Structure 1
Amino acid sequence: MDKASKITAYRIKDIVIKLEGGQLVITRETERKTLSVDALLKQPSMVFDGV
């Protein structure tokens, strides 16, 4: 096991989810959706709308 100290991205099939500078970035092929972390905390279900 390597010495990674944190997760920088998470991949589920063809979807990549990562945090970049206080933003949640969801990428699928050529599509990209960016949401604020505050929006994620207030309405977590909206993250997956349209992905």
Structure 2
Amino acid sequence: MADAFTGTAFKGNPAALCLLEDPIADEWTQSAATEPCLPGARPTSCIRRS
């Protein structure tokens, strides 16, 4: 989880981040973005290292 628009933990707008080592299927990233176990955590970003 990451907090946007703040410098204080647990404040601001929560967002879920997925840090990926390798490319992953679009279907997986779409499923992760709609995962219901993270209430209020939107959007979800999947980031691949380059």
User: TM-score scaled to structure 1, two decimals?
Assistant: 0.25
Larger relative contact order, structure 1 or 2 (CA cutoff 8 Å, min sep 6):
2
Q: Which structure's residues are more often helix, by fraction?
A: 1
User: TM-score scaled to structure 2, two decimals?
Assistant: 0.25
